[in-house]
Amino acid sequence: MEFVIGATAACGACIFSNPMDVLKTRMQLQGELKARGQYTIIYRNIIHAGIAVAKADGITGLQKGLVPALSYQVVMNGIRFGMYRRILDSGVISRADGSVSSLGCIAAGAFVGVVGGVVGSPFYLVKTHLQSHAAESIAVGHQHKHEGFIPALYKIFNQEGVKGLWRGATTTIPRVGVGSAAQLFSYSKSKDWLDHYGLYPRDSWQSTFVGAMVSGIVIATSMSPFDVIATRVYNQGLDKHGRGLLYKGITDCIVKIYKTEGVWGFYKGWTAIYFRIGPHSFLNLMFWDHLQKLYLKVSPDDGELGEGSAEEQMRIEGISLQRSEESDVQKLHDSSLPSRHSLSLHFDTIRTVPRDIVHQSEEGSDVSPTHQSLG
């Protein structure tokens, strides 16, 4: 179920963020391997780029590559969020007090990101090809001229075999590894900081929004060089032997971009990356959080702890609880929870509730459970 929730949330966010992905791809390919002043600037900034694409390709041009982008989100984020939740639930990266280890969070985020990115690489390849394709007046980079998502997959497979579908996949390892680790770590820490200083409750949409936008700065800055490299390698044309026309691999790409475009060449399209990642992360995490809550409400097994011994141990978000026969209610205060909350544990329900209504909950009043967002 974690896979379904993660994939659905990512697709919902992708529909809104895909136009920025199109602009990001175009800006990253503009002036490829050329020093500033040696090429015509077609896209001056994201606003100008958006207007240029809408005029030349039509308003639908801003949604180019949407189908492979959604497919990539299903595979990549379905695996990433699903695996990350499993790792959190396992307690592998949790400290003794129930809080999540920063180093463990980074390592787990990078690992699940790489797995999802490599598996979904064929969809990212086609997405890049379709998003780079434009009217001649605004075209940048190699133009693959595929007729659509399925024809593109068939054409690549027919010409290059299965290996061709994963061409450029090695560039995804540092890209998604760094991006995923940066997102899961910076987002979680941003929400912790907001809650610690009493600015916004951790479970509020304001906390999610600010956390996503702040983490977006970290993600865009740390991931931009790898994103530019991935876009260039994925989009390059091939010679008759199936070798890249411009780059032999990641190292060759890095050297050539640095020599011809300088350090700033690795940050082309940074603003488009940020304005894609920030809102995308916010919508993704909001959808994910609400879908989790909906699932917990409609799941027939929600709240059932099942049968077990009196000393059965249950783990919630890395917090170990003991079930006792002495009372049908147990309470636990944990330092990782917001200062105004504690846990009220029943045989059949686990809830996060404000302390001042814990006693009401024990007497049987209905207190709606809450669910923390990712991180």
Strands 329-332 and 341-346: antiparallel
Q: Report the Cα 314 to chain-centroid distance in Å.
A: 29
Q: How confident is the model at residue 327 (pLDDT cuts 50, 70, 90)?
A: very low
Helices 121-132 + 66-90 axis angle, to 10: 150
Q: Is 331 helix (H, G, I), strand (E, B) or coil?
A: strand
Rounded CA separation 113/65 (Å): 21
Lowest mean pLDDT among 68-72, 238-242, 253-257, 330-334: 330-334
Q: What is the mean pLDDT of residues 28-52?
A: 94
Q: What pLDDT, on the 0 to 100 scale, is given for residue 301?
A: 57
Higher pLDDT, 199 or 52: 52
pLDDT value, residue 5: 81
Q: How far apart are CA 325 and CA 318, in angstroms?
A: 23
Say if residues 222 and 182 touch (Cβ distance below 8 Å): yes
Radius of gyration over alpha carbons of the chain, in Å? 23
Q: Does residue 208 carry a pLDDT above 90?
A: no
Q: What is the pTM of this model?
A: 0.75
Average of per-residue pLDDT values in the chain: 80
Q: 205-235 and 172-196 are packed helices; what angle lies between their axes, rounded to 10 degrees?
A: 170
Distance in Å from the first CA to the final CA of the chain: 18
Which range has the worst mean pLDDT, 48-52, 351-355, 361-365? Answer: 361-365
Q: Where are the alpha helices (DSSP H) in the chain?
A: 2-29, 46-57, 66-90, 102-119, 121-132, 149-165, 172-196, 205-235, 250-261, 270-298, 358-362
pLDDT tens digits for range 97-116: 777 787 888 888 788 888 98
Mean pLDDT over 47-72 rounds to 96
Contact 289, 207 (CB under 8 A): no
